């Protein structure tokens, strides 16, 4: 139970906090705490610590599909079949785009670093917007995001999941590392359920040789109010992302790598699926979306309530006595309910 705070008039001055500099120290601590709260307490993006905290894709979140471009050679984004992209597409330098299918729909624009050629007869040629600054900034934000969450201290470490499994959230930030195994390899109608609530954020990293593969009507499911916009599948092993059928919740990232045995980020192939999230890729060769619906929404970050409350408590508990003494004739009486 929080303490109740009462004020009453008295006939003498409130006592000094300390006689040997302690009062000045505690007041300084309070000022620093409130400064941190007002200046930094609500910030979620920083890339200088391995301690898990809430961070998002930055400007990259504006895209349904974002390709960084190859480090060498040429990369191809191949949009096929009856695919529907509900959002914008961003293509980095060196990426070319192919379209093969008469029922391709993009509810958005195609932002590019340099002009690109579409397949002959493409219905989306007029949706191209050349905007190098915008695309390059989104790519930079996405790379920083991927590298940052890959460096977080894991709250759970797994080698592989191949059968129906439920992963339970902790009610806050969950950092799950796949390492020392195959990673996520669902087949034959297997279901991976992420269970938790709307405050759960899942940063799921695929390290070493771990990959991300879903096929055979397998799928990702959610339970308990988990927000798909707070789920990130971050493949930094250099392996490909493969989704063939089924439903996937969360954003698929294959943009950076930590495994030195791989020469670059893997490609992605998403066929005949429904993806509620984003695709951010850095594939070196062929990246395919075929017969797939991609649906995105605004990122909804879980608030870091505990940090804010702690800073408020420290700041006001150390500053208030000094202020009351200056006002005079008042003191704080604490009583526990």
pLDDT digits (tens, 9 = 90+) for 27-70: 554 544 444 433 433 333 333 447 899 999 999 999 999 998 76
Both 82 and 113 in one domain: the answer is: yes
Both 113 and 188 in one domain: the answer is: yes
Both 36 and 107 in one domain: the answer is: no
The verdict on residue 22 lying in a domain is yes
Both 142 and 36 in one domain: the answer is: no
The answer to whether the beta carbons of residues 119 and 166 sit under 8 Å apart is no
The answer to whether the beta carbons of residues 187 and 160 sit under 8 Å apart is no
pLDDT per residue as tens digits for the range 178-229: 999 999 999 989 999 999 999 999 999 999 999 999 998 899 999 999 999 9
pLDDT per residue as tens digits for the range 255-287: 877 654 445 577 899 999 999 999 998 766 778
pTM (two decimals): 0.73
Both 95 and 177 in one domain: the answer is: yes
Both 138 and 243 in one domain: the answer is: yes
The verdict on residue 237 lying in a domain is yes
Both 205 and 277 in one domain: the answer is: yes
Residues 6+ apart with CB under 8 A from 217: 188, 189, 245, 246
Domain that holds residue 202: 58-295
pLDDT per residue as tens digits for the range 107-155: 999 999 988 777 665 667 668 899 999 999 999 999 999 999 999 999 9
What is the spatial distance between Cα 39 and Cα 25, in angstroms, rounded to a whole number?
Answer: 21
The answer to whether the beta carbons of residues 332 and 312 sit under 8 Å apart is no
Both 21 and 160 in one domain: the answer is: no
Both 158 and 280 in one domain: the answer is: yes
What is the spatial distance between Cα 193 and Cα 165, in angstroms, rounded to a whole number?
Answer: 6
Both 119 and 243 in one domain: the answer is: yes
Both 170 and 33 in one domain: the answer is: no
């Amino acid at each position: 139970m929080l303490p109740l705070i009462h004020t009453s008039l008295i006939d003498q001055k409130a006592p000094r906090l300390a006689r040997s500099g302690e009062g000045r120290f505690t007041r300084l601590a309070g000022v620093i705490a409130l400064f941190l709260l007002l200046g930094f307490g609500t910030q979620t993006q920083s890339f200088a610590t391995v301690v898990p905290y809430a961070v998002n894709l930055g400007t990259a979140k504006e895209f349904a599909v974002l390709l960084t471009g190859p480090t060498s050679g040429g990369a191809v984004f191949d949009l096929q079949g009856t695919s529907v992209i509900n959002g914008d597409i961003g293509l980095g330098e060196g990426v070319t785009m192919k379209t093969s299918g008469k029922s391709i729909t993009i509810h958005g624009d195609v932002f590019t670093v340099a002009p690109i050629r579409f397949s002959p007869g493409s219905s989306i040629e007029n949706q191209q917007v050349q905007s190098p600054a915008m695309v390059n900034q989104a790519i930079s934000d996405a790379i920083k995001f991927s590298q940052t969450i890959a460096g977080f201290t894991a709250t759970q470490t797994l080698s592989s999941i191949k059968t129906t499994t439920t992963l339970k959230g902790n009610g806050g930030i969950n950092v799950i590392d796949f390492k020392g195994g195959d990673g996520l390899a669902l087949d034959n109608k297997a279901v991976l359920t992420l269970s938790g609530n709307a405050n759960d954020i899942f940063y799921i990293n695929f390290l070493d040789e771990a990959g991300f593969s879903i096929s055979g009507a397998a799928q990702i499911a959610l339970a308990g109010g988990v927000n798909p916009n707070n789920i990130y599948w971050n493949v930094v092993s250099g392996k490909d992302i493969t989704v063939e059928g089924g439903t996937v919740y969360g954003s698929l990232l294959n943009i950076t790598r930590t495994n030195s045995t791989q020469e670059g980020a893997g490609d992605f192939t998403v066929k005949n699926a429904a993806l509620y999230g984003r695709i951010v890729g850095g594939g070196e060769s062929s990246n395919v979306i075929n017969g797939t619906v991609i649906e995105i929404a605004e990122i909804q970050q879980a608030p870091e309530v505990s940090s804010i409350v702690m800073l408020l408590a420290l700041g006001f508990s150390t500053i208030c006595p000094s202020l009351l003494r200056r006002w005079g004739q008042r003191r704080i009486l604490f009583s526990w309910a």
